[in-house]
Amino acid sequence: MANQVDSYLREMINMGGSDLHLPSGCPPMIRIYGKLERTEFPSLEPEDVRVMALEILSQSEQEILFEETNVDFVYEMDDPSAEMTRFRTNVFFQKNGINIVFRGIPKHIPTLEELGLPRSLIRLTQHHQGMVLVTGPSGCGKTATLAALINIINETKSHHIITVEEPIEYVHENKNSLIVQRQVRKDVDKFATALKAALREDPDIIMVGEMRDLETIQLAITAAETGHLVFATLHTNNAISTVNRIIDAFPQEQQSQIRTMFSESLRGIVSQQLIPRIDGKGRIVAAEVMHSTGSIANLIRDNKIYQLFSTMQMGKKHGMFIMDDSLLDLVRKGVIEGREALDRSVDYKTMETTLKSMGRI
């Protein structure tokens, strides 16, 4: 059955897909440039999917699946010649049986240029301590952006870098830095445990795959305050919602203190999303960038988050720009449709007015 899994994965690669779905009771489906497409393979029987799942799961991963009804891991295809051989995988139960979802992980760690992100983001790798957040919806390329930033540090500095991921996606080789990658549920039980331990492991940089609970957020801020540079991701859509998510994660009585701590430790926020190209040749990134300046820090500390938007608009000389400006730039260049920009905009009414004046909707 593992060979059958590999054949489906090769088909995904050949079709230029990013994700493969093996659902009980349905034909396999492949996501291509953000759109889920049905394949010509026959429907999968629930028992066949179950057997495939058990074939690719270790004993410990099977125990997690049956205890928690889903499990994350990396599946490696035994085909060195393939364009992709590692796949972030989730196996889960649903009403018809078991489903398996694979997402391809490129062998090559991308550069900022290859991702379509500005080289000005290199500035985020040059801080000695603080917190850098990469945010956006699931599947928008946050992990690739973090990998690109960590790779820049690996190539240019001699640091001890600890990553905590679930699961490990991009594999980093030691270049100028020493990189230790820890996988949650395999090398450590949870993110918070790994962060606590990291503070005693002489790191210069800590990368947290996802800040998904209060304890992890609190420990990440503490690490940033105590002389470490922390990179992490959040599922938020822009800089303002990211700041609010961090603050609101804490009890009301702690929020004033956290605003001060976070304002002092924050170094930058990159929010991104992937948009289908107008020529049908894949997707392109639209990004929002906020670098922490004195005025940004003051607004966070004084709970004037609503003013961040205008401050970012005026902060172009500091390398800042808002999501809607990035979307409009892609429309002007003829890279994406006006309707795509409108659907993904932060300020819908202003974007609609602007696009109508341009004749793009």
* 214-225 and 255-265 helices, crossing angle to 10°: 50
306-342 core/surface letters (b: 16 or more CB in 10 A; e: else): eebbebbeebeebbbbbbbebbbebbeeebbbbebbb
175 and 300 both lie in a single domain: yes
Domain assignment of residue 286, yes or no: yes
Tell me the whole-structure pTM to 2 decimals: 0.92
What's the pLDDT at 3?
A: 83
Based on the domain organization, do 154 and 298 belong to the same domain?
yes
Examine residue 238 and state whether it is found in any structural domain, yes or no.
yes
Look up residue 312 and give its two tokens: 């970012």
What the block records as the tokens of 215 is 């304890």
For 172, the token pair is 């980093």
Q: Is the distance from CB of 265 to CB of 301 less than 8 angstroms?
A: no
Q: In this predicted structure, what is the pLDDT of residue 83?
A: 81
With respect to residue 42, please indicate whether it lies within any of the assigned structural domains: yes
Question: Residue 102: enclosing H or E segment and its boundaries?
Answer: strand 97-105
User: How many structural domains comprise the chain?
Assistant: 2
State the pLDDT at residue 2.
61
Domain that holds residue 31: 2-105
- Rounded Cα gap, residues 50 and 62, in angstroms: 11
In a shared domain, residues 290 and 267: yes
Residues 168 and 218 in one domain: yes
- Asked whether residue 124 is assigned to any structural domain, the reply reads yes
The pLDDT score that the predictor gives to residue 336 is 97
3 state DSSP class of 65? helix
Residues of the chain with pLDDT under 50: none
Residue 348 lies in a domain: no
Q: Pick from 189, 168, 141: which is nearest to 73 by CA? A: 168
Looking at the structure, tell me whether residues 17 and 96 fall in a common domain: yes
